[in-house]
Amino acid sequence: MAYPLTSETGNLTCAVATTDLNQLFTNAIRMTGDLATINIEATEIEVTQATGSAINIGTMIGGLRTGTVEFSGIYPRTTTPLAASSSITYSSGYVQYVNSWNLEISWPEIDITTISSSSVPTWRRWMPGGIGMWSGSYTCKADDTTPPVIPPSGAASSATFQFAASGTPSLAGNITAPRLSQRVRLGDYSELSYNFRGSGDLTQTVSADYPGLTRATTGAISKPSWDVVGGNGVPDVTCVLKVAGSREWTFPAFWTKLNLQWKVDDVVRVSGTLRIADTASVA
């Protein structure tokens, strides 16, 4: 008789060498207990036929399948520093007494499913779009000598998001800060919250102890890997989500969202979304 599976042997991996997902899952982050959630869905198409008589319930068929995987982990993989050792430098902004901050990198996706006379597709096929975005927010305390900086107008200004006290790794680029809010609560500290948006490249700096997130070397975060083996427009960066024992999902994928979070008295947390780029299988 079958029994319910438990996932103490679960894992999310990508064995395709020199790809960003291999770097992320193998070198950069350790997967955590709340490992991943896979979501599969299919289009529903109504095909109710008119018969000239009463119809009680409509008729439906299933269309093409597609899916995503939500995952979470801790950075870096081999050590566990507290996020309290991080810092923000912003040439045009207020960064006193920072409590927490987050940075999100997102990439659009393009549906490249095509009609075929040789084999009818059952899954949608995807590739990453051309231009990504990055943004985030941070909270800090107002002090008694430095007034808050009103969101500047004009050109974006440089900012550096330092992961640890050593100075590396870090993420750096130009940002605008279009939104500021200040909370005033009697008898409590006053909290400032800034939202920012990146302008141009987001560049990572790495070190031996702190590996890069999506690439092994220092440089700009770039378009997600998706067709690296044949260069034929077919997604081939294959991932495996191990549920338990030999139960596994296998699917080509690329990342569409990476979110990094720093908070006093916590570790650096990384979460993200993978787009299942073509046919997925489970065994």
Taking a C-beta distance cutoff of 8 angstroms, is the pair 108, 131 a contact? yes
As a whole number of angstroms, the longest Cα–Cα distance in the chain is: 80
Report the C-alpha gap between 169 and 34 in whole angstroms.
Answer: 25
- Amino acid at the residue 283: A
Mean pLDDT confidence for 206-228: 92
With beta carbons less than 8 A apart as the criterion, state whether 243 and 37 touch. Answer: no
Least trusted range by pLDDT, from 12-16, 58-62, 130-134, 146-150: 146-150
* Residue 44's pLDDT band (cuts 50, 70, 90): very high
Question: In the chain, pLDDT over 90 holds for what percent of residues?
Answer: 74
- In this prediction, residues 21-44 reach a mean pLDDT of 95
Task: With a cut of 80, say whether residue 184 has pLDDT above it.
Answer: yes
CA 167 to chain centre: 24
- Model pLDDT, residue 79: 83
- Name the pTM for this structure: 0.92
- Tokens representing 176 are 């605008």
For 267, which DSSP code? Answer: B
* Residues 104-152: tens digit of each pLDDT: 999 999 999 998 777 888 999 999 999 999 999 999 999 999 899 888 8
Which residue, 21, 155, 161, is CA-closest to 89? 161
- In the chain, domain spans: 11-33+65-282
Tell me the average pLDDT across 82-99.
86
Residues 26 and 22: their CA atoms lie apart, in Å, by 6
What is the model's pLDDT at position 15? 94
**224 to 8, 20, 141, 178, 242: CA distances (angstroms):** 30, 7, 36, 28, 22
Can you tell me the mean pLDDT for 149-176?
Answer: 86
Q: For residue 43, what pLDDT is reported? A: 92
* pLDDT higher at 96 or 129: 129
* pLDDT class of 27 with cuts at 50, 70, 90: very high
The pLDDT of residue 167: 66
- Stated as kind and residue range, the H or E segment containing 107 is none
| Residue 17 confidence class, pLDDT cut points 50, 70, 90 | very high
Q: How many angstroms separate the CA atoms of 239 and 241, rounded?
A: 7
Across 241-271, b (16+ Cβ under 10 Å) vs e yields bbbeeeebbebbbbbbbbbbbbbeeebbbbb
